[in-house]
Structure 1
């Protein structure tokens, strides 16, 4: 079988990190999640995944995904026919894993990423792929037409951009979708230094390093009137189900020395907001 070549920009290429992590976790007994679709896609890509050094980051990426899953599941429990927008969707499979059969989903990403995504996924009446940038506004129109409560998920996307760009994106969404939910991962300035990123990103180069530092997640409330910081989670705040499926070393540390683990992971968290109301 001819494999699918990968032609992505360096930032877009980071979409392969969560994809590969889900495939690895699926193969691990009692893994954090089961994603056979991720395994299939990895097998079909012409890409040297072995160039990525062995790292605990693979499991961490899946813990992050599970935390985003939980936010989405909570939203769907409250709004079964609501709308979920995956910003920078990459080769995300959240729809396959947690869709409730009623919600409407939009998968937004840059044209090269959507082109690759269309090789493996198709639009359906409840799921639409959109090629575009989160920093533009054209992509919002089909989402607005649905007219339902909306949740925006930005998993491993905005941290690759400058703060001014991140603010622009969030403000634009808040203006069009007052009251919507918005979840994104954030990291402190400690993790945006070259020293903190050199080892993990040496494969992709400096253009794929984290750029946006957010030392206080509540500070985003000031970006748009009425925006509310709902809360944030680090990996040690995960549910008991997630912790029970972590790799043994993480599970042991989380159970035996939670304060030590909390110190290790305190600079990276998933933040949840309710965007300003009109």
Structure 2
């Protein structure tokens, strides 16, 4: 399998835009979680990629943010698995896929999959992942329209995941992207994370501290306000208040920490499952 090591066996550096570089946040978190004795999720592919890419992932070191990212990812995994249990040959679309490995974690042998991201990220992704008859990779912005036609070529029903991506878009662009999905794919599921204004401000402070160029651009204090875009809430959760069925499967260390974390961070890390309106 082609990787990012050069002919001498060393790591090969990568060049990504400022926002695209944030893909290393969830990648490092999943690799770190995999190394634990009782991980919430296992992602050996993330460990492999961290080992082959020359990038200072230590800037995304261990801490509360890493656990929050892993919990968010695992919650979305649980929603995708539930969707596939009901629609085993449906289509899942990863918006801003980065170096995510959700397909490897949930593949049931019949699902169809579309991985969408900007061209520089997709160029990196292709070093580790190959397309197949059920899996397609698309290099485009979520604000483009051509990729929507690619999705329409895949069998429905559809599940769109936008994890850790829309927050980097201005509010009007995030709303535009969601409105297009709602209009083109009635009855589809859409999972996305949102953050209030006070957390956006803290992210800006942290970005300065860590010398990160990427800044969040969109805050959303109430995910239900997005229903005006043509979607309705199916399930409202947060990283500190995960879905009940999911919570029961958490490792003990997470179950013990969640009550305290919820008192400190309630309403800060929302993740919501929507269904687009039927026409």
User: Does TM, scored on the shorter chain, surpass 0.5?
Assistant: yes
- 2:119 aligned to which of 102, 111, 122: 111
Q: For the Cα contact (< 8 Å) 1:107–1:129, is it kept in 2?
A: yes
Map 1:252-267 → 2, pairs under 5 A? 252-254=256-258, 258=259, 261-267=262-268
**Unaligned ranges ≥5, structure 1:** none
Question: In the TM superposition, what is the alpha-carbon distance from 1:201 to its structure 2 partner?
Answer: 5.9
Q: 1:49 Cα deviation (Å)?
A: 1.7
CA contact (8 A) 2:161 2:192 kept: yes
1:24-83: per-residue Cα shift (whole Å, max 9, x none)?
A: 000111011111100000000011222334422111111110011011011111111100
Contact 1:201–1:209 (CA<8 Å) still a contact in 2? no
Larger proportion of helix = 1
> How far apart, CA to CA, are the structure 2 residues paired with 1:81 and 1:154?
20
Alpha-carbon spacing, 1:259–1:57, altered in 2? closer, same or farther (3 Å): closer
Alignment of 1:183-198 (within 5 A): 183-193=191-201, 195-198=202-205
TM, length-normalised to structure 2: 0.90
Structure 1: which 4+ aligned runs deviate by more than 4 Å? none
Unaligned runs of 5+ in 2: 1-8
SS in 1 for 2:240: helix
Q: How does 1:95-110 map to 2 (within 5 A)?
A: 95-110=103-118
Asked if the contact 1:66–1:242 (Cα under 8 Å) also holds between the matched residues in 2, the reply is no
Q: Which residue of 2 aligns with 1:272?
A: 273
1:146 aligned counterpart, secondary structure: coil
Q: Secondary structure at the match of 2:127?
A: helix
Q: How does 1:1-278 map to 2 (within 5 A)?
A: 1-193=9-201, 195-199=202-206, 202-205=209-212, 207-224=213-230, 227-238=231-242, 239-244=246-251, 248=253, 250-254=254-258, 258=259, 261-278=262-279
Encode CA deviations 1:133-155: one digit per residue, 9 max, x unaligned.
11111011121012310000001
Instruction: Identify if the C-alpha distance between structure 1 residues 241 and 5 changes in structure 2 by more than 3 Å, giving closer, same or farther.
Output: farther
Cα deviations by residue, 1:66-116 (Å, 9 ceiling, x for unpaired): 011011011111111100000000000001111111110000000000000
